[in-house]
Structure 1
Amino acid sequence: MCTRYVYNGIDTIVGFNFDIDLSVWDHTVITEENRFYIGIKMPDGLYHSFHGINKNGNVGTLLYVHGNENARYIESEDCITISELTEKFIKAEISFDKALDIVKKKKIIYAPDATMQAMLSDKKGRVLIIEPGIGYRYEQENFSLITNYSILKPDITKPYIVSGDTRYEVAKELLAGYDKDFSVNDAFKVLKSVSQKDLWATRVSFVYSTEKNKVYYVLNNDFSNVFEFQF
């Protein structure tokens, strides 16, 4: 369970809540010269960057979604997995325009081990929502928002909405109430309002200011203790 948004005000600000079951995923926050990311340990023994930020302003995040058959994994040169595409974007191996070109030309599929959708954004506030097996949307609005259900065809994942899960509605209402002066503090208020507890608790929350090229993050819902990482 995760929540991700982009707010285009005077500053373009990104917010992300990383909600996971610790028995399922091994994670750690990793800071490098050109990347900040939540590393996920994969079978190859490496911590991969499926949720992170590049110094150039690229921000990519994967979010769990109930899968559909049209996006199941197959080996084909005409396909690319959503995880590979997202990590390439975070590593700045591809630009936003290249990512957009890829989703237009190739079939986007799930990795063999997980069903995910993604939001990619750049320093200009452009957003690409990618839902494997369903489609994609390019936009540059006042704000963009996604959680763990389909935005493009909501009826597909509506039966799988967890009872009482109002993260999308709560965050949308809050974001709609802000103006162009939306700040890092405001961004954390939104994330805190939809943070999770218990098994699938929020383990990392990060806010990225494109204007300052700086990441602010908190661990385990401790919103009173904010760490900073300056590119």
Structure 2
Amino acid sequence: MCTSFVIHADQTIIGMNFDISQRPIKLALIDEQFIIFQKNEGRFLPAFGCTKSGIFMNLLSVAPNEAGIYRRGKNCVHMMKLFSDVLAEKVELSNLQKYLDETKIVNVPNYSVHSMITGKKKTFIVEPGRPLIERTKKVAVLTNFTFSTLLDADYKNVKGTGSERYKRAYEEISKNEDSFSLESGFKVLQQTAQYQGDFPTQLSIIYIPDEETVYFTVRRDFKKVFSFSFLTKQIEGKSGFQTDHVFKLSKQGVLLSELEQQNGVSTT
């Protein structure tokens, strides 16, 4: 399922709740890209990620549409390829519209996703089979209903899968829009986290590009916050721990289960 948001204020703050059934989840650093992988049918597949330069992209479940179903073709590019090229900056945000004008974005076989792609100044929504959407507003939220259906709708009136999380996120962001902070971001994620059902929140992250730092909590424990710095390439316990924990991150990655084993005892 999942909920993501971005607010472009004095500084850009990006948030994401990764909601998925229990499975191995891995964090890895690959060529200055912080990527979250989830294991499915024996393979680790990318779910979302961000770069040292401030680019963020995710892959959120959405109902399929005929034009976006996987197919081969000279100008067809599937979402996993787009994900890889955007984070590697082979496709720059400044050229995204031109790139998509020349290609047809489709899903991979047996999946249907859409994506929030954001940098320090701009945010785009990509939905296979539909036109690129550039968000000119200060705030953008993405959950699991077709985003293009609400372009002219008030957020209070949206419908579909994830619409209640969408509304809660917007309401929480609006309370602190003029002074939005790391703490505000985690409050949004806490308000939209899923604690029950088939898709509980496994990972909640806040990325602040100006700090080149990702802050995150594991499996809905918002009292314990880890941080990952692109400068040190390390994961550390930021708050809520009695002892220090440091993990050097590489392309081999670290599992959430490994972080949980070192989770320590909350001091707050």
Provide the TM-score with structure 2 as the length reference.
Answer: 0.77
Q: Distance in 2 between matches of 1:227 and 1:221?
A: 13
Do the aligned partners of 2:76 and 2:103 also contact (CA within 8 Å) in 1?
Answer: yes
> In 2, Cα distance between the equivalents of 1:181 and 1:86?
31
Residue 26 of structure 1 deviates from its aligned partner by: 4.2
SS at match of 1:153: helix
Query: For 2:165, which of 164, 167, 174 is the aligned residue?
Result: 167
1:29 is aligned to 27
Cα distance, 1:142 vs structure 2? 1.3
Structure 1 unmatched runs, 5+ = none
Amino acid at match of 2:93: F
Task: Name 1:20's counterpart in structure 2.
Answer: 20
The equivalences for 1:1-231 within 5 A come to: 1-22=1-22, 26-32=24-30, 34-41=32-39, 45=43, 47-124=44-121, 126-154=122-150, 161=161, 166-198=164-196, 199-231=198-230
Aligned residue pair count: 223
CA displacement, residues 138-172 of structure 1 (integer Å, 9 cap, x when unaligned): 123211111001121249xx88537xx61011111
- Matched residues in 2 for 1:153 and 1:140: separation? 17
Q: CA deviation at 1:111?
A: 0.8
SS in 2 for 1:180: helix
User: Structure 1 residues 153, 179: closer, same or farther in 2, change over 3 A?
Assistant: closer
Aligned-residue CA RMSD in angstroms? 2.2
- TM-score, normalized by length of structure 1? 0.88
- Contact 1:2/1:18, CA 8 A, preserved across alignment: yes
Aligned equivalents of 1:2 and 1:100: distance in 2? 25
- Select the structure of larger CA radius of gyration: 2
Instruction: Quote the Cα distance in structure 2 between the aligned partners of 1:111 and 1:97.
Output: 25
Higher relative contact order structure (alpha carbons within 8 Å, sequence separation ≥ 6): 1
- The percent identity for this pair of structures is 26
Unaligned runs of 5+ in 2: 152-157, 231-268
